[in-house]
Amino acid sequence: MQKTKTLLILAIILIVLLGIIFTLNQKESFQTNVSKSKPGQQEKEDKIIVKSPKPEKEIISPLKIKGEARGSWFFEGSFPITLVDWDGEIIKEVVATAKGDWMTKNFVPFQATIKFESPYQKKNPDFMKKGSLIFQKANPSGLPKNDNALEIPIYFK
């Protein structure tokens, strides 16, 4: 009876330890795949470089966006860009277009223009000036493993 009780306790301890190891491994894997770009960074994983606007700068409408992305970031020569407010509400969505042959592994220039109404009013608290531009990798397959994005913080003027 004592031997069975000891084996049961050891089995439970082993299961708990394996669960902890699995959880830590999953957390590390998630961080490796998702959080490669740091706040204020203009590029991501050698895949996309945004030249304009710069992170954490004030923007006005119409906003001209310029940069370079690897050909794999595009599908049929384009990819989506989303402008959101401080709360993640979508203000405007546009499509960036390649300014060259996008069927390459090299960087290809892109541009887009967003016309929008600023959600910030002078009577609002300053935190409402914040927003983001989200550059999404084109993913016609819809598979999560092919998703990728770069988010750049901006401020509305």
Residue 20 confidence (pLDDT): 67
- Please provide the distance, in angstroms rounded to a whole number, between the alpha carbons at the two ends of the chain: 75
CATH at 131? 2.60.40.1220
- Could you tell me the pTM of the whole model? 0.70
Tokens (6 digits) for 53: 């606007």
Residue from 64, 68, 115, 125 nearest 93 by CA: 115
Q: Which H helix or E strand runs over 68?
A: strand 63-70
Residues 57 and 93 both lie in one domain: yes
Q: Which of 119, 122, 98 is nearest to 110 (CA)?
A: 98
Same domain? For 121 and 138 the reply is yes
Do 15 and 86 share a domain, yes or no? no
Are residues 63 and 19 both part of a single domain? no
Q: How far is CA 45 from the centre of its chain?
A: 11
Per-residue pLDDT tens for 93-135? 999 999 999 999 999 999 999 999 988 776 778 888 899 999 9
Q: How confident is the model at residue 5 (pLDDT cuts 50, 70, 90)?
A: confident
Are both 24 and 55 inside the same structural domain? no
Q: What's the domain count of the chain?
A: 2
Tens of pLDDT along 51-94? 999 999 999 999 999 999 999 999 999 999 999 999 899 999 99
Domain range for 15? 1-35
Strand partners, 55: none
